[in-house]
């Protein structure tokens, strides 16, 4: 009996929504490589995987600020420095995802849910331009009917389209 069968006592949901990073895949090694490259390009010491693993979870802009601050508290980081660091980080992260791995059992779970007729969605704060290639690389993209990633309108200091302004999305 699967975990879903136990959880839902033979009455499965019609839709299951998944997060990507830290739920389906471990992307921290690639995030750490991009953080370290950013830090080195900005004349700082690399942080390493262990530190980055503690800093992830709130999107790339916060990860970059934490890396520049060298810890969770990042309010003292200069906005211009953070924006410059984010540009370097995103460029570096976009070059490779060779260290990212899918967690054990993920494909089996997605396959089982699909066989049961359960619709699946993926919702992530990862920038959309990285999501498709990652899902293709991990060979799990076709399982998801809906894929929602971070869009450019969610970046600070950008003009928001009316759809984001009207629904008060956090920016």
Residues recognised as catalytic: 19
Residues 72/55, Cβ–Cβ less than 8 Å:
yes
Q: Which residues contact 135 (CB under 8 A, 6 or more apart)?
A: 122, 141, 144, 147
Query: How far from 41 is each of 46, 56, 84, 86, 129, CA to CA, in Å?
Result: 10, 20, 11, 12, 23
Listed in sequence order, the residues at least 6 apart from 80 whose beta carbon sits closer than 8 Å to its beta carbon are none
């Amino acid at each position: 009996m699967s975990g879903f069968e136990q959880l839902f006592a033979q009455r499965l949901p019609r839709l299951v929504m998944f997060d990507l990073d830290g739920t389906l895949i471990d992307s921290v090694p690639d995030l750490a490589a991009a953080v370290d490259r950013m830090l080195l390009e900005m004349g700082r010491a690399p942080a390493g995987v262990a530190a980055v693993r503690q800093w992830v979870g709130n999107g790339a802009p916060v990860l970059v600020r934490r890396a520049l601050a060298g810890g969770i508290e990042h309010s003292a980081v200069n906005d211009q420095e953070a924006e410059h660091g984010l540009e370097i980080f995103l460029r570096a992260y976009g070059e490779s995802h060779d260290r990212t791995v899918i967690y054990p059992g993920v494909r089996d779970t997605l396959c089982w849910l699909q066989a049961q007729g359960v619709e699946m969605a993926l919702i992530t704060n990862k920038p959309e331009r990285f999501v498709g290639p990652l899902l293709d690389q991990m060979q799990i993209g076709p399982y998801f009917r809906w894929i929602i990633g971070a869009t450019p309108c969610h970046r600070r200091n950008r003009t928001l389209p009316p759809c984001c302004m009207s629904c008060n999305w956090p920016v």
